[in-house]
Amino acid sequence: MSIMRAASDTELLELLKSGSSRAFTALYNRYWEKLYITAYHRLADETEAEEAVQDIFTDLWLRRETLQLTHTLNTYLAAAVKYRIIAALARNKKKLQFAAEQALSGPALRDTTEEWLLEKELQAQILACVDQLPEKCRIVFRLSRELGKSNAEIAAELGIAQKTVEGHMTRALQELRTALQVSAPVLLVLLKKIF
């Protein structure tokens, strides 16, 4: 195992692409604590931080054969943990909003079980489609729809042009519309309801 510990990230990634679980373990041991500390610092919850890091490494393993990095592995993992933190914060915000809405609404105003199940199914379909988007496109979409950030705020946060943000959003909406086979106005209504 000391050979694996001494190997560079590039060498380990090449071994990982060929399915080496030892290379995966070496990368896991090399980066787990750093990613966990970053996630815990922002989420302040051990379980959520652990889940975020586990998701990153699960994704790394599942995508090992097709993974194409344009930057270093360290940069890729830092972006991945940032994305997971954003997603977890958005989920927490939605849970709080839902709890507040449920507390304020009486039994007569609550959706029926069937409507709730249909909405959950649609939400799962949308999230599955979003997960298939290219990484930058997915991050831009989630910052916009889950955290409610404006294009200008997203551009500033990611260090990209506002036109690039608009391009990512256009692509995301087109791909969602195609995948869900709905018209543009219906898609916007669905996204507002779910996000």
**Inter-CA distances, 95 with 6, 90, 91, 98, Å:** 44, 9, 6, 5
Domains defined for the chain, CATH in brackets = 1-105 (1.10.1740.10), 111-195 (1.10.10.10)
Q: How many CB atoms lie within 10 A of CB 147?
A: 16
CA neighbours closer than 13 Å in the CB half-sphere of residue 122:
19
What pLDDT, in 10s, does the model give residues 54-70?
999 999 999 888 888 88
pLDDT given for residue 105 in this prediction: 61
| Mean of pLDDT values over 19-27 | 92
What pLDDT, in 10s, does the model give residues 83-139?
888 888 888 788 777 777 766 665 544 456 766 677 777 777 777 888 888 888 889
